[in-house]
Structure 1
Amino acid sequence: MHNNKQMTLSAPFSGAVITLTQIPDPVFANGAMGDGVAIDPLDDVLHAPCAGVIINVARTRHAINLRADNGSEWLLHVGIDSVELEGEGFQALVKEGQRVTEGQPLLRIDLDYVARHSRTLISPLILLNSDRFTLSLARTSGSINVGEPLLTMTPVARQEQDSPSSDIRARQVRGSIRVAHTGGLHARPAALVRQTARQFSSHVELHFAGASASTDSVTGLMGLGIAEQDEVEVVCLGHDSEVALQALLKALSTPSPDEKLSTPVTADLPRTEHAEREPGVMIGVTASPGLASGPLFRLDTIELGDDPGGHRPDEQRQIFTEALAQVRADISGSLDHQNHEQSAIFATHLAMLEDPALLGIAHDAIDQGHSAGHAWSEAVLRQCAVLENLDNPLLAERANDLRDLRQRMLLSLLGDARDVEVPPGAIVVARELTPSDLLMLAECGVGGICMADGGATSHVAILARGQGLPCVVALGATLLDVAIGQEVVLDADNGRLEISPDEARLRGIQGLRSQRFEQRQRQQQHAHLPALTQDGVNIDIAANVASRADAENAQLNGADGVGLLRTEFLFVDRSTAPTEDEQRAAYQAVLDAMDAKPVIIRTIDVGGDKQLEYLPLPAEANPVLGLRGIRLGQARPELLDQQLRALLRVTPLARCRILLPMITEVSELLAVRGRIDELAQALGLTERPQLGVMIEVPSAALMAEQLAEHADFLSIGTNDLSQYTLAMDRDHAGLAARVDALHPALLRLIAMTCDAAHGKGRWVGVCGALASDPLATAVLIGLGVRELSVSPPNVAQIKAQVRELDTRHCQTLAHHVLNLSGAEAVREACRTFQTQVVAQKNIA
């Protein structure tokens, strides 16, 4: 049912209506894919919510793209994580290009099978081109029957977008702020700003250096060239302009925790004169460490021939729209298979695909008779040129994300997958790779990556590190002149590409790589065995995780449990708090992923540098010393109560251990324990989970004996403990290298904590970054630590190291280093100790 102004969509299922924010998947819940609604289905057939044309039926048949007669494009997605079923449980009743009527059956679903093998049956209905329509839900809760009105959409008049009414102008407000995002307003911060602005009806623009851009356009915002600490003006026009302005000012002045993903592991290597003159060696920047050798293979970008023009605009628009839907569906469908870093990158790509600036340029070119491929290519390359001409290396790197979208679209428009045969173990050369290229090459089993351009903070670098692929960037244009097929050595540990290695060097590299590989293989073979020291002391090697996918990875890598589940992932990057049911489902999923192993779940640790959009906190001169951690729970008890109730509802409760952050005194611990008793009694529970406290401020270490009397365990967070003890901000560019948790002062606090805990019969773990440092393993064991919670990929290595140690020797080392002068002296003593352990092993 529709007219020129509105169109009503009917329910495709019978079931319970659910808002997007209640979906247990951040990609849908935070609106990154678009606006919409969801249904928890009761029947086994997905029906067309309106008349239209089928754009795409997913290969795995779990999703359908539908274009309605008014031009709106919809993603009908059955279940969450259902793509992993590879089509099992789904029967497609329609095909691409088919016209359907409202109510026509589209998919048949085996509800029992899909419910048992996916995360949830909740099925989102997402408007993909939500910049062109506004939605009004007929209902936001309760039950609905198939065919009943579900939502109404109204086209956004272009005149309203381009020419705000006088009433809107009357509500114009302005404000200025300095941008706090690391590297300025590049892709992710720009997407965050766009997402924040879309919560309000006001039209929002950023003004900087005589130019302006609408917050609707991620590329437009990036094109302003705004650097970190630049002052920008925010202009809001609309009835809710005042609240929109405050939200935008906060979004611009509050760095996202995810920006740490963009921090390079290694600093740019100096280009010394000796290195530049060394024959047969090219020096670049390490993006991902490692060592590899193999034949050079060149990967070129997709190029288009000349466009003769004269194409029919209506045909090309349809081709273009279908390709957009296909690429969106491909990216969305792959998000469930990616880790947190990969998901964040490709969620930004989804936002770029909705960018009105890019789409406007492409549509204009199509209207002038150009083909869809040439129109899109021109739009992307024009915006890339804008970013690359800015005096901002980080923004120039983000142009590579646009090139990735260019290639994805061209592959869809050309109707052919990228047909390349990369020799296994090859060293791939390119001017600059895209994130999609990187993932494709990783699947091909390449040995390493080297690029003429690029940087260590690029998304490709992040993905390379995640894949464990050696990668060197910024090698210069002469890299592209190197003959393809010849054997080279990629020493990514030192940022070197050796173009003319002799046979002895190649044999040496192969030997080193074989040793490393065999060592990793041996370690992995025993990863699921206990980590027992030479004198029979068991050390639990757990994993730090932030999601169910992380937990599954930890289980595969042999972790003895989860030593720290950071629950902030449920609360950040969204406009409303997660519900109790949503939290319970997320926590239960992590417990289920770890089989019978214990899971330590930290209560929400926000405040300080981690802010929530829906929980405005007062500005603080020194946020890391302000309202954060357990103090926020004291200030907002309803937030903590909701989380505690969700935790008490997981099963089995015996495997759930609750960890409290930023505890400074015993009364804070006792208050939470009392509240857990009250909530458990209200829920009819007789069992209580173990309750521990984080030792991450000096006062907690000094009070460890009193805390251990009332806590079931203590967990040391060395990251915060380092900065609070040394009075150095660990994110300060000039001081970060000196914030070393192996400083004797830190080790003394750890020793004090362990002695106090053991006196009360409690165990102590370390969940900070120090636990993953192989150089620190012996010292921590010597001090009395009995659980190390590390990054999942490090589990096997740390377990193997523990098995070579004797706790009595570790205690001697620990006693020695407590009296050294500084962190570097401690590290040198640990290196000497490691050398002795290896030597004794070789003798044995």
Structure 2
Amino acid sequence: MHNNKQMTFSAPFSGALLKRAQIPDPVFAEGAMGDGLAIDPLDDVLHAPFAGVVINVARTRHAVNLRADNGSEWLLHVGIDTVGLNGDGFEALVTDGQRIEQGQPLLRFDLDKVACKSRSLISPLILLNGDQFALSPVRGPGAANVGEPLLVVTSLAQNTQNTSDSGVQASQARGRIRVAHSGGLHARPAAMVRQTARQFASQVELHFAGVSASTDSVTGLMGLGVAEQDEVEVVCLGHDSDIALQALLKALSTPSADDTSHAPLAAIPPRAHPNTEQGVMHGVIASPGLISGPLFRLDTIELDEDTGDHRPEEQHQILSHALVEVRADISASVDSGHHEQSAIFATHLAMLEDPALLDAAYDAIDQGRSATHAWSQAVLAQCTMLEKLDNPLLAERANDLRDLRQRVLLNLLGDARDVEIPPGAIIVAHELTPSDLLMLERCGIGGICMANGGATSHVAILARGKGLPCLVAMGPELFNVAQNHETVLDADNGRLELKPDDARLREIQTLRTQRFERRQLQQQQAHPPALTRDSVVIDVAANVVSRADAENAQLNGADGVGLLRTEFLFVDRSTAPTEEEQLSAYQSVLDAMPEKSVIIRTIDIGGDKQLDYLPLPAEANPVLGLRGIRLGQARPELLDHQLRALLRVRPLARCRILLPMITEVSELLAVRARIDELAQETGLTERPELGVMIEVPSAALLADQLAEHADFLSIGTNDLSQYTLAMDRDHAGLAARVDALHPALLRLIAMTCSAADAKSRWVGVCGALASDPLATAALIGLGVRELSVSPPHVAEIKAQVRDLDTRQCQALAQHLLTLTSAQAVREACRTFQTQVLPRAVIA
């Protein structure tokens, strides 16, 4: 019962009544969601504890949000971690917006199944707008029966008349923002927006060009056709609408890390050529490599005509079962530990839960279609919608939906594609999906040629990561080529040679054997130091983010850690890591690299890299804003915690601290002074070496002053490139032009090395340029004495160093400084390799 001020909250099911603090989940127990209580249920139906309205039923049907007639809003959550069941074992008995009466059944669940598959059946009952209401217990913990009064909920408002209506009006928040994601709201950003919105109770919609879409629907968001820098309106409705709005505006205006997944294309420029050369087809390079093998065409699944008149209940069950199994399979891919692969399949998982897609499929079943045809029809309709948009990136993302069509159809048909694929085959397809590629990789294929697709597709990303040569956008004439005869896929140069003679095939085999043997030999010599031919030692270290990376670097022969990025400790969590957590992480990396130095960069967060628990103001130009050492100055407690942890690692002599985004000497001196203060507090007499990142032009111009007070300098060529060239390195249209071998960059590197040498300081490079064998001679010639590379490149770069003479490298460097473009520099470096290095190195 209730009146305008008071309402009685009754037990929604029978069971043991518990205090909120007894809930086995800190988010609920510590009151982060709000105040309330919990019940360990004995029955399998959740009943309405009061009269009111259903705000929303969770898509996975494990929870329901209600608004009582007195305006209080509640989350009734069945069990702990039950969202992971994806609705399995749950049945919703009400719908969003429905009027309910006290005692009315809301959800039904399989008590045994949920108990076996979830962490706990204890069910939190949480008041979400607790700032407006007071809770008074009617009784204490113990056995409770359904319908028994548990709480009195009293409004704190002075005037509670029309509370429900005024609450709705007051809880709406609106805002406009320009979308900053490269390519607009395609699959990954749409999935990220959906994930952000799900953190709040508010219902959220995006409005664009007269059309709206719920953030619950990934395909709905993509269907808006929002491009990069388009302005959208965000509308939030709920008790937490204000904070939800701020979170959504930030999510839309902050480019995600996944936008940088296209960056490798800068190093692998796509090339397409007209198919005019006799016996040769050309395509866009998605992944480089060289292979010969038989062509094998892989066809997509086509369905026979649907006879119709199927039993909807049976087909509903068939499709639901298939979706559960495919979700489990995709979840395993997400948990595989491979970053790129996990990110791709996490997006697929979000698409598979899309209500617009599922509703279309189930509606088709209700009209008499089979599960297979209903699913295929729903997916292809969404694909057609995306492909009609004037956005090539969104049209390309329709391939992700085709992947889901394929995976679910294979499950429904009970027939995994039963084909005999010849080992080493070059696969020909209209357009492969990520799951296709993983299946083909297990079959031992040699390479891929696609008639459609693009170099930014998920398949292209995976192919590059797995080292599979791949060409895309080769056109429909690809299917006119006969199968099962030997061809050469030269993905280094964008060529498919259809009629190679025996001499060409022997040449390919010889080249591949040479490359393999060279890699094997390089790996055997990876652990000894890298000395040039005139006996100059060049340290080849590794860039890492974790102990596992460090262990891999040690196995690959790295001379130490040239860059430990500490951001990994601070992201994807609700609070900052403690000093003890940081110490443990840093010490584990030192332990993984015995007797070797480890350079640990202080946190580089801010600007375009934000933390949920560290709210910072939105910035028009985040890359030019509060980040790196500037954030440490603005939030000194964050930097202090990190410095204290670093001063506790042992042995401290092997720890070197690196400061990011230094622009002037005073920043360096302030941190050095703070280290002295913290060391004195603990009676520490030893000090770690302290270095600065050279990643902005001002640091390079002041390198002589910085070198006077720093122990070493480390050049970050990625940021130095974008700041020097005034080009965002994450901009899809400019990525190929942000080249660290630009003469302007080389001059800044030369200036830095010269200034450091005058102060007897050494200079390293930890940016991507250090991993490029084409740049090794130039960097050594400019004066760089440490190259920090990704662990797999250690052996190759060490081998390159051993074939160089520093005097020849210096002559090359002086010549490069006179050139006028990055293209000219790269051509000169290739010429140098051809004329100076042993043929085995450049083959």
Task: Give TM-score scaled by structure 1 length.
Answer: 0.77
CA distance in structure 2 between the aligned counterparts of 1:302 and 1:7, rounded to whole angstroms: 50
Q: Which residue of 1 aligns with 2:71?
A: none
CA distance in structure 1 between the aligned counterparts of 2:823 and 2:731, rounded to whole angstroms: 19
CA distance in structure 1 between the aligned counterparts of 2:740 and 2:482, rounded to whole angstroms: 47
Give the drift of 1:615: 3.5
Q: Which residue of 1 aligns with 2:542?
A: 543
Contact kept? 1:766, 1:785, Cα under 8 Å: yes
SS for the counterpart of 2:275 is: helix
SS for the counterpart of 1:667 is: helix
CA distance in structure 1 between the aligned counterparts of 2:661 and 2:201, rounded to whole angstroms: 38
Give the drift of 1:135: 7.7
Q: Which residue of 2 aligns with 1:258?
A: 258
Q: Which residue of 2 aligns with 1:269?
A: 271
Give the drift of 1:217: 0.8
Distance 1:735 1:268, change over 3 A: closer
CA distance in structure 2 between the aligned counterparts of 1:814 and 1:21, rounded to whole angstroms: 63
CA distance in structure 1 between the aligned counterparts of 2:226 and 2:15, rounded to whole angstroms: 40
Using the TM superposition, name which of 605-614 and 441-450 deviates more.
605-614
Letter in 2 for 1:242: D
Give the drift of 1:367: 4.5
Distance 1:172 1:71, change over 3 A: closer
Using the TM superposition, name which of 632-641 and 722-731 deviates more.
722-731
Give the drift of 1:190: 0.5
Distance 1:396 1:743, change over 3 A: closer
Distance 1:298 1:680, change over 3 A: farther
CA distance in structure 1 between the aligned counterparts of 2:269 and 2:758, rounded to whole angstroms: 44
Give the drift of 1:220: 0.9
SS for the counterpart of 2:640 is: helix
Distance 1:280 1:576, change over 3 A: farther
CA distance in structure 1 between the aligned counterparts of 2:744 and 2:308, rounded to whole angstroms: 72
Residue identity (%): 74
Distance 1:20 1:529, change over 3 A: farther
Give the drift of 1:371: 4.7
Give the drift of 1:215: 0.5
Give the drift of 1:186: 0.2
Q: Which residue of 2 aligns with 1:617?
A: 616
RMSD: 4.2
SS for the counterpart of 1:358 is: helix
SS for the counterpart of 2:255 is: coil
Q: Which residue of 2 aligns with 1:112?
A: none
Contact kept? 1:488, 1:499, Cα under 8 Å: yes
Q: Which residue of 1 aligns with 2:244?
A: 244
Q: Which residue of 2 aligns with 1:188?
A: 188
Q: Which residue of 2 aligns with 1:212?
A: 212
CA distance in structure 1 between the aligned counterparts of 2:87 and 2:731, rounded to whole angstroms: 49
Give the drift of 1:433: 0.8
Distance 1:642 1:419, change over 3 A: farther
Distance 1:35 1:135, change over 3 A: farther
Residue deviations 1:596-642 (CA, integer Å, cap 9, x gap): 54432322223333344543433445443332210011111222233
Contact kept? 1:51, 1:100, Cα under 8 Å: no
SS for the counterpart of 1:276 is: coil
Q: Which residue of 1 aligns with 2:233?
A: 233
Give the drift of 1:171: 3.6
Using the TM superposition, name which of 523-532 and 729-738 deviates more.
729-738
Distance 1:586 1:171, change over 3 A: same
Q: Which residue of 1 aligns with 2:697?
A: 698
Give the drift of 1:233: 2.3
Residue deviations 1:41-89 (CA, integer Å, cap 9, x gap): xxxxxxxx9999x99xxxxxxx9999445579xxxxxxxxxxxxxxxxx
Distance 1:414 1:245, change over 3 A: same
Q: Which residue of 2 aligns with 1:458?
A: 457
CA distance in structure 1 between the aligned counterparts of 2:824 and 2:709, rounded to whole angstroms: 36
Distance 1:64 1:718, change over 3 A: same
Give the drift of 1:459: 0.6
Q: Which residue of 2 aligns with 1:566?
A: 565
CA distance in structure 2 between the aligned counterparts of 1:631 and 1:641, rounded to whole angstroms: 14
Give the drift of 1:588: 5.2
Q: Which residue of 2 aligns with 1:75?
A: none
CA distance in structure 2 between the aligned counterparts of 1:373 and 1:683, rounded to whole angstroms: 69
Q: Which residue of 2 aligns with 1:92?
A: none
Contact kept? 1:208, 1:224, Cα under 8 Å: yes
CA distance in structure 2 between the aligned counterparts of 1:21 and 1:289, rounded to whole angstroms: 53
Contact kept? 1:172, 1:235, Cα under 8 Å: yes
CA distance in structure 1 between the aligned counterparts of 2:735 and 2:665, rounded to whole angstroms: 31
Letter in 1 for 2:216: D
Q: Which residue of 2 aligns with 1:640?
A: 639
Alignment of 1:295 onto 2:297: no
Letter in 2 for 1:544: N
Letter in 2 for 1:633: G
Count of equivalent residues: 739
Task: Select the structure of larger CA radius of gyration.
Answer: 2
Alignment of 1:285 onto 2:287: no
Contact kept? 2:541, 2:786, Cα under 8 Å: yes
Q: Which residue of 1 aligns with 2:476?
A: 477
SS for the counterpart of 1:559 is: coil
Distance 1:745 1:367, change over 3 A: closer
SS for the counterpart of 2:493 is: coil
SS for the counterpart of 2:837 is: helix
Distance 1:615 1:834, change over 3 A: same
Letter in 2 for 1:269: R
Contact kept? 2:272, 2:494, Cα under 8 Å: no
Contact kept? 1:36, 1:125, Cα under 8 Å: no
Using the TM superposition, name which of 768-777 and 408-417 deviates more.
408-417
Task: Give TM-score scaled by structure 2 length.
Answer: 0.77
Distance 1:429 1:841, change over 3 A: closer
CA distance in structure 1 between the aligned counterparts of 2:388 and 2:15, rounded to whole angstroms: 44
Give the drift of 1:662: 0.8
Q: Which residue of 2 aligns with 1:525?
A: 524
SS for the counterpart of 1:408 is: helix
Q: Which residue of 2 aligns with 1:435?
A: 434
CA distance in structure 2 between the aligned counterparts of 1:34 and 1:536, rounded to whole angstroms: 65
Contact kept? 1:629, 1:661, Cα under 8 Å: yes
**Unaligned stretches of 5+ residues in structure 1:** 23-32, 38-48, 56-62, 73-98, 107-123, 128-132, 139-147, 150-163
Q: How does 1:552-591 map to 2 (within 5 A)?
A: 552-572=551-571, 577-578=576-577, 583-584=582-583, 586-587=585-586, 590-591=589-590
Alignment of 1:707 onto 2:715: no
Contact kept? 2:295, 2:428, Cα under 8 Å: yes
CA distance in structure 2 between the aligned counterparts of 1:270 and 1:641, rounded to whole angstroms: 52
Alignment of 1:789 onto 2:788: yes
Q: Which residue of 1 aligns with 2:353?
A: 354
Q: Which residue of 2 aligns with 1:384?
A: 383
